[in-house]
Structure 1
Amino acid sequence: MAKRGLLPIPDLINPFKVKKKRLMNFNPVTAASSRKPVEHVRITVFEYDAQTVREEVMDRVEDCFRFSKGDCVKWINVDGVRRQEVEAICREFNIHYLLMEDIMSEGQRAKMDEIGESLFCLLPMMTFRPESASVDQEQVSLLLKGNVVISFQDDPGRDVFNPIRERLRSNGTKLRNSGADYLLYALLDEIVDNYFMVMDGLGERIEVLEDIIPRQPNNRTLARINYLRKEILLFKRGIAPVRELTNGLLKSENNLIEESTRKYFKDVYDHIVQANDLAENYRDMVMNLQELYHAQMSQKLNEVMKVLAVVTTLLAPLTVITGIYGMNFERMPELRNPNGYFIVLGVMLFIFVSMIIIFRKRGWF
């Protein structure tokens, strides 16, 4: 098994075959949604309290309406965002139209809204793909309404909520003994904690490039550096507004968040601050990689120029001698000497060897 820092070139990314991403994206709420329609929508419902837990998976949105009432905590997770289902859920749970448009829009900046008796959070869920060293971003909407938490996400294959599901299925956990506001905290915390998993993957790629640049400072390596820089920039721009989101939850005086739960949101805030600082450090490290690449290229060019200068200097006296004896003068004393050719060759060889010895003693090569 190869060491992480010595991965061969084919095990890394091929930046020339990766589809270019948009680093800047803006889609206001009032714009027509560009979201691609999904073929299938799956709804998973957890209804639980300290003693019991009930889990159901359904395909029809109407089947989850019966969970709008009751004293137990409910988590309704919608995999696949389609306008028909979103409108039906918002109508049943009396969710404001603006929040529905936020759920349907794509590429929005992470934010937190309080409208009526609803607390809404929108933020990116990040995942790292090792095969292409790319960061995938998925928009997740979390809605707290009474004792119900509704989550909307596009792709169930990139879900990071499995640890929460396992805690709900286990008896005696803090999650089972708490309210819906603690469930909202748990979902936010899982998303933010996964940011560090993404940064671990990016950090490994940075370490690999640090080993490759001194050995192979070529155009392909530069393309990999630029590709990694864009991925880190995409990641940093995605998570930066999450800090404002968590800060808004801390400052909120909404009755949906109990006072005993606010300290947990403070923990999420500390994590996202740390994630932003680490992302900034990674950006600086990639900039240092670019500087290292240019330094290696300059050094490589200097070595080539040094060799060419030494060769030119060694050949210069020999060129002078051959130029002198190449002149067409009749009265040159050495021309009639039967050993003149060998004498000139010996002198040229002596000068050449002497210059090499002098250069070596001076440490010029």
Structure 2
Amino acid sequence: MTTPKYLKYLGLNTLFGTSRTKEILHMNPTVIPHREEAKVVRSYVYDYDTTHIEEHEFDNVTDCFSFRHSNRISWINIDGIRKVDVEAVCAHYGVHSLLIEDILSINQRPKMDEVEGVLFCLLNMLYFNEKSGTVEQEQISIVLGKDFVISFQEDASRDVFNPLRDKLRVSSSKIRQRTADYLCYSMLDLIVDNYFLVMEKLGERIEELEEQVIRGSNSRALARISSLRKELIVLKRNIAPVRDLLSGIIRSESDLLDDRTTKYFKDVYDHIMQAYDLSENYRDIMVNMQDVYINNVNLRMNEVMKVMAIVTCLLAPATVIGGIFGMNFDKIPYLHNDYGFYIAVTLMLIIPIWMLWVFRKRGWF
């Protein structure tokens, strides 16, 4: 039977999650990624001003083209990525071909670009899977133009924008009173705020694991440490570049950004900095937890070695006495004594008991 078959029966692959490691680290920017195109693409349009809002849902993205010159602010949210549809929408709204490549990309690093009068943001929405205990990510692309915002999502079944949709339906909300850049800020703010929800879930797992490691270290605890460290890698990989994204927006002198909105982007920047610091704290905790695990294992090994050393010392007198009286000499004192056996056994018992008393008095155990 080969080694992989043994591993299958032992369950070590599942325990240490090597497939997750490959999923996290297997990225090659020189290879063109293959994206499975969505079977269903739906577009949701929120066309609004201070007094009026229209909500539409379309199965064909070309139906969104009529809102290009509506003289109101339009948020076009496209659920599902399909190359033909993305190219059609971007061509109609004047989005550069380089940005189209970024929208169609997979596992792209969060970034911000400003190309030909369009401000482009690409980042990931994060979710925590309770069943698998993993951090899942969904790439979202946000295009900010003159009086419009277009967002491209991979998964149509979930996002973090429901509070934003509720605010859009309230005529007195700030988002209805401001320009399109405020809508872009609100989307980024919700994405960043959701990072804290994911980190809260990870924090709970780390807390439970810390108690488990302190109570007793075993291979399962080590596997959980390894698993959580991988999820922290995913977390940090998504949080760290968002700092640069927001910093680029704050420094930008684009006409699409109102000076009044800059302070709001600065607030989101403060949030992402807090999230980054918290992720670093989690990382330090995991490193310390791994050290605690190693120290516990070494301490347990030392305890075992100490017990074995004490047992060896206690058996030494019996071994010496038995060895002396087992020598092949003709004349050995008390060899033929009627009480020689009892004397030898008594010494074998008394000496170890005296040694135990000495060890105990010196605090060796």
Q: Same fold (TM over 0.5)?
A: yes
In the alignment, what sits opposite 1:138?
A: 138
Stretches of 4+ aligned residues off by more than 4 angstroms: none
* Matches of 2:356 and 2:58, distance apart in 1: 84
Greater alpha carbon shift after TM alignment, 94-103 vs 144-153: 94-103
Is 2:43 aligned against 1:43? yes
Greater alpha carbon shift after TM alignment, 13-22 vs 40-49: 13-22
Q: CA RMSD in A?
A: 1.8
SS in 2 for 1:333: coil
| 2:214 partner amino acid | P
| 2:352 partner amino acid | F
Is 2:310 aligned against 1:310? yes
C-alpha displacement of 1:317: 1.0
* Matches of 1:33 and 1:90, distance apart in 2: 20
In the alignment, what sits opposite 2:174?
A: 174
| 2:100 partner amino acid | M
| 2:24 partner amino acid | R
Q: Are the counterparts in 2 of residues 26 and 107 from structure 1 also a CA contact under 8 Å?
A: no
| 1:150 partner amino acid | I
* Matches of 1:33 and 1:18, distance apart in 2: 19
C-alpha displacement of 1:18: 5.5
Pairs within 5 Å for 1:1-365: 14-16=15-17, 19-20=20-21, 21-23=23-25, 25-27=27-29, 32-365=32-365
SS in 2 for 1:151: strand
* Matches of 1:363 and 1:78, distance apart in 2: 72
Greater alpha carbon shift after TM alignment, 122-131 vs 249-258: 122-131
SS in 2 for 1:22: helix
SS in 2 for 1:99: helix
* Matches of 2:169 and 2:19, distance apart in 1: 40
Greater alpha carbon shift after TM alignment, 172-181 vs 258-267: 172-181
SS in 1 for 2:94: coil
SS in 2 for 1:170: coil
Q: Are the counterparts in 1 of residues 17 and 227 from structure 2 also a CA contact under 8 Å?
A: no
C-alpha displacement of 1:220: 2.5
SS in 1 for 2:317: helix
Q: Are the counterparts in 2 of residues 44 and 58 from structure 1 also a CA contact under 8 Å?
A: yes
* Matches of 1:294 and 1:33, distance apart in 2: 40
Structure 1 unaligned spans of 5+: 1-12
Q: Are the counterparts in 2 of residues 23 and 234 from structure 1 also a CA contact under 8 Å?
A: no
Greater relative contact order (CA < 8 Å, ≥ 6 in sequence): 1
C-alpha displacement of 1:70: 1.3
C-alpha displacement of 1:14: 4.6
Q: Are the counterparts in 2 of residues 122 and 141 from structure 1 also a CA contact under 8 Å?
A: yes
- The alignment covers a number of residue pairs equal to 351
Shift in CA distance, 291/218, structure 1 to aligned 2, threshold 3 Å: same
* Matches of 2:73 and 2:28, distance apart in 1: 35
* Matches of 1:361 and 1:170, distance apart in 2: 79
Identity %: 50
* Matches of 1:174 and 1:107, distance apart in 2: 34
| 1:133 partner amino acid | G
* Matches of 2:358 and 2:158, distance apart in 1: 67
C-alpha displacement of 1:221: 1.9
